[in-house]
C-alpha cells in the first residue's frame, strides 16, 4: 500500500526559480491538502481540495498555486521561489467526516 506519495523528497532552488511538487494518493479520497511545516509553527494549511476540480486557499496561500489534476493527484507550484518558502511541505488526503488524514513523507525545500 503506497498511501500518499510525494516527489521529490529534497530540492534546492535559487531565488526566482519555479518548481512543482507532486502528490498522489491511492486511497480513493476526495479531500487533499498541502501543508508547510516550519519550526515552532506546526503545520499550516496552504491549499486544499474538497474534490476533483475544486481548490481553495488555506491559511498561507501567497506565492503558491495548486492543481487537482484528477482524484488521485494534487500538485503544488511555486512560480517564483523566495527564501521565505524554505520549508518542509506535506501532502495529505482524507475522507469526509470525522476521519484522520494520511500524510506523505514530505518534501524538504531550500531556496537560496
Partner 1 sequence: AQSVTQLDSHVSVSEGTPVLLRCNYSSSYSPSLFWYVQHPNKGLQLLLKYTSAATLVKGINGFEAEFKKSETSFHLTKPSAHMSDAAEYFCVVREPTGFQKLVFGTGTRLLVSP
- Tell me: does residue 26 bind partner 1 (CB under 8 A): no
x/- track of binding to partner 1 for residues 31-70 (CB under 8 A) = x-x-x----xxxxxx--x-x-----x-x------------
Please name every residue paired with 102 in a beta bridge, in sequence order, or none if there are none.
93
Which residues are CB-contacts of 97 (< 8 A; sequence separation ≥ 6)? none
- Tell me: does residue 85 bind partner 1 (CB under 8 A): no
Residues that bind partner 1 (CB under 8 A): 31, 33, 35, 40-45, 48, 50, 56, 58, 90, 92, 94, 96-101, 103-106
Amino acid at each position: 500500500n503506497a498511501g500518499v506519495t510525494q516527489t521529490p523528497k529534497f530540492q534546492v532552488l535559487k531565488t526566482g526559480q519555479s518548481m512543482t511538487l507532486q502528490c498522489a494518493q491511492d486511497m480513493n479520497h476526495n479531500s487533499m491538502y498541502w501543508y508547510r511545516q516550519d519550526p515552532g509553527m506546526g503545520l499550516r494549511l496552504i491549499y486544499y481540495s474538497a474534490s476533483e476540480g475544486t481548490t481553495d486557499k488555506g491559511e498561507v496561500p501567497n506565492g503558491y498555486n495548486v492543481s487537482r489534476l484528477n482524484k488521485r493527484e494534487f500538485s503544488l507550484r511555486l512560480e517564483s521561489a523566495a527564501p521565505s518558502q524554505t520549508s518542509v511541505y506535506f501532502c495529505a488526503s482524507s475522507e469526509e467526516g470525522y476521519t484522520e488524514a494520511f500524510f506523505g513523507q514530505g518534501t524538504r525545500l531550500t531556496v537560496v
